Amino acid sequence: MNLIVSAPSGSGKTTLLKKLFGLYPDRFGFSVSATTRKPRQGEQDKKDYYFLSLEDFQRKINKQAFLEYEQVYDGLYYGTLKSETERINDLGLIPVFDVDVKGGVNIKNILGNQAYSVFIMPPDTEVLKQRLINRNTETPESLNKRIQRAEMEIKYADKFDCIIVNDDLDKAVNEFVQTVNKHVLCHG
């Protein structure tokens, strides 16, 4: 079994996943995504992302090295390398895909019943906007792009096996952990 977790940026997906990994440190393996974006402060290559040049990313596309990939913005790619799934399975762990919404839908379509997909829903776009502002990583232009993208991504929520609204962190963590226990760990 595989776990797919997707959400608009700022919905709390990373926080929920950190809680899950803290509760089950020996059950899950985090699938490190590849991207053409530059590392943010503190991010490490091969730990947070595989930071690839645009040329390297396109070379891997041509070699069909990705389970899925997407050009999220002009010249900005994200993708899931097939080798990540193999690496995690070889460790005897359950792969966890922390991917954008379209990537989550694509992986679910490819893996079918071998994956359980969870969509983390923000309470509303104003809360989402404030969370993104609080990160201190966005310019006004990138903030607007992220909000527009979030509005589009929310339309994909019904394509996921489960939707969890993150309006109260403790409640969302509890619902997320119960869902994973029932649908992933019992089948993993």
d(C-alpha 187, C-alpha 171), whole Å: 24
The correct CATH number of 2-185 out of 3.30.1490.20, 3.40.30.10, 3.40.1190.20, 3.40.50.300 is 3.40.50.300
Q: What is the percent of the chain where pLDDT is above 70?
A: 99
* Chain position carrying tokens 């943010």: 40
pLDDT in tens, 1-17: 999 999 988 788 989 99
Q: Given pLDDT bands bounded at 50, 70 and 90, which one contains residue 112?
A: very high
The mean pLDDT of 32-38, rounded to a whole number, is 95
Q: For residue 154, give both structure tokens.
A: 């929310």
Inter-CA distances, 148 with 7, 11, 122, 130, Å: 14, 14, 14, 14
pLDDT of residue 139: 86
Q: Is 134 helix (H, G, I), strand (E, B) or coil?
A: helix
pTM of the model: 0.87
Triad 75, 159, 16: Cα angle to 5°: 75
Q: For residue 54, give both structure tokens.
A: 């645009």
Write down the domain spans for the chain: 2-185
Q: For residue 91, give both structure tokens.
A: 């460790």
pLDDT in tens, 52-73: 999 999 999 999 999 999 887 7
